[in-house]
Structure formats: C-alpha cells, structure tokens
Amino acid sequence: MAKRLDGQMLAALYETSLRASVAQHLATAGSPPGLAVVRVGDDPASGVYVRKKAQACGRVGIKSQIIHHPATASQQEVLESIRQLNANPSCDGILLQLPIPATLDARQLLLAVDPDKDVDGLHPLNLGRLVRGEPGLRSCTPAGVMALLAHGGIALEGIRALVIGRSILVGQPMGIMLQQANATVTMAHSRTRNLSDHCRQAELLVAAAGQPGLVGADWVRPGTVVVDVGIHRVPPQRQGTRGRLCGDVRFAAVEPLASHITPVPGGVGPMTVAMLLCNTVQAWQQRCGSGVRTALVPLPR
C-alpha cells in the first residue's frame, strides 16, 4: 500500500512557519504582506478557490483583497486594475484568477503584471529565471509538488520521471524543476503515442493532463511515485447530492501499486496555496529590503 503524500499536513507546517516569520518582522517592515486577486466573471470554481486563498492569507497574516470584475468587463478595465496594483506599494503580490472570459486576452493581462509581484510565476521573466536556475517567483503548483517530494524523502537524482501535461501553469515548469533536481524527465501530452507505455517506464509519474481518471493501474509499474495534479468534480449520481472530487489518477486502483501517492483532495491542492503564500511573503521581503528575513526554515519530515 502506498504512502500518502499529505499536502494538507505539509501546507499547515508552511503556514505555521510563515505566520511566525511575518509576525517577527512586521514591526521592521511597517506593513504586512499584501496579496491582490483579480477575478473576472462568476465561474463557481474560481469563487471557491479565491475564498480559500483569502482564508489562507488571513491565517498567516497576509492582507488580501479581491478585485472582482463582471464577465462583461473590457480588456482595458482589467488592465487598469492590474496597473493600479502594480503601482500600489502595499500590494506585494498580484494573481489573475484563471479562467477568465474568452472575450479577454489572458496572455496580455499576465504580461501586464509586474514580474516582482507575479506570485503565480507565469510572467515570461519569471519563467526565464526558472529556466536559467536564477532566484525568482516560481509557479505555485510545481513548486508545491517539489516540496511534497522533498518532505516525503523521495530522492530525485537519476530517477525516470514522466510529466503528463505541457501547460505553462504546471507541465512545463514541472519538467524544468525536476530536471534541475537531476531527474531524467520525459514530457508527455495529448498527442503522445503509446502514452501508457511511457507511464509504465516511469519511476515518478506526475499527472497534469486535465482528464479525469486517465491513469489506471495498468499504466503504473509497482513502486512508482504517483503525483496527481488534476482535480475534477464528478456529477452526482443522485439528484440533491453533491458530486465527488477526483483527479487524473484512479486512486483506488493505483494506490496498492504505488510507493507514494497524493490524494485528491488533500494532496497537491493545499500545497499550491501554500506556495502562493510563500511567493507573497518572498515578494514582501524584497520590497522591505534586507531588514526583513522571511525565508522558510527547513521543515521536519
């Protein structure tokens, strides 16, 4: 039976460390870290995610604000909100909540965010810093996966890793981070031929394909580390009940084979939020200068 990589527990440890660091240096900084979330439209899932992020900010002492535009907002209106936040000295981090309405150009909006406030790590400058191995704000979900693997004591040097998915949000930065940890990385996607064969060769499998239940037991070799980035709500089977959450991996089938596995929910999701908090505090540190030291202490295994 696989050992579960508990993102809920690890995220709580990160929050404890961040909360202590923010409290310790608040007087020196003069103001708390600030995170602004720009939301456009009324996507229900986005509403849930934004509330969870605001609650997490409150737990560690980050001041959060939500800029909520209607779905009919123009590109210029959303751009102006981002520009105002760029110029606001009390705002250390800016997050554009995706998805946004198809009438808007997400690429242009992401480019408008000040790279030093880009706590999602999606600006080309921060992605370039990642590629070059330079310090900078990192994509939250891949960074959360790396923290889970490190906390689980999983040695990455030389491991055969497969990443399913090639988005700039998860797949691409995930592959780079694993390579920088000296893993041997294969990138797979919807056009990959014989995907199941590639999966069976992997010692570490990161599923970020966005397809519910894609990876089953016949795709996983015994002893594989399985990280499930996907999260989907399965429609309810009976009227009046809520649908259940699932990932890209068929958990019940794969768990007996894997050496380690992330549950859904409670695996990668909480760590994504924890890394968002870390990025915001890191940006706060940069704003406040050398008088504030907020780097996280190593966490116990």
Residues annotated within the binding site are 165-167, 231
Which H or E element spans position 63?
Answer: strand 63-69
Helix/strand/coil for 162: strand
CA separation for the pair 138, 149 (Å, rounded): 16
Whether 63 is a known active-site residue: answer no
Whether 120 is a known active-site residue: answer yes
Q: Are strands 3-4 and 260-261 parallel, antiparallel or unpaired?
A: parallel
Please pick, among 6, 118, 120, 248, the residue that the annotation labels catalytic.
120
DSSP string, 198-239: HHHH-SEEEE-S--TT-B-GGG--TT-EEEE---EEPPPSST
50-80 burial: b if 16+ Cβ within 10 Å, else e: beebeebbeebbbbbebbbbeeebeeeebbe
Please pick, among 6, 53, 117, 228, the residue that the annotation labels catalytic.
53
Residues annotated within the binding site for NADP(+) are 165-167, 231
CA separation for the pair 108, 106 (Å, rounded): 6
Please pick, among 97, 172, 282, 285, the residue that the annotation labels catalytic.
97
Q: Are strands 245-246 and 232-233 parallel, antiparallel or unpaired?
A: antiparallel
SS3 content of the chain, % helix, strand, coil (to 5): 45, 15, 40
Active site (catalytic) residues: 53, 97, 120
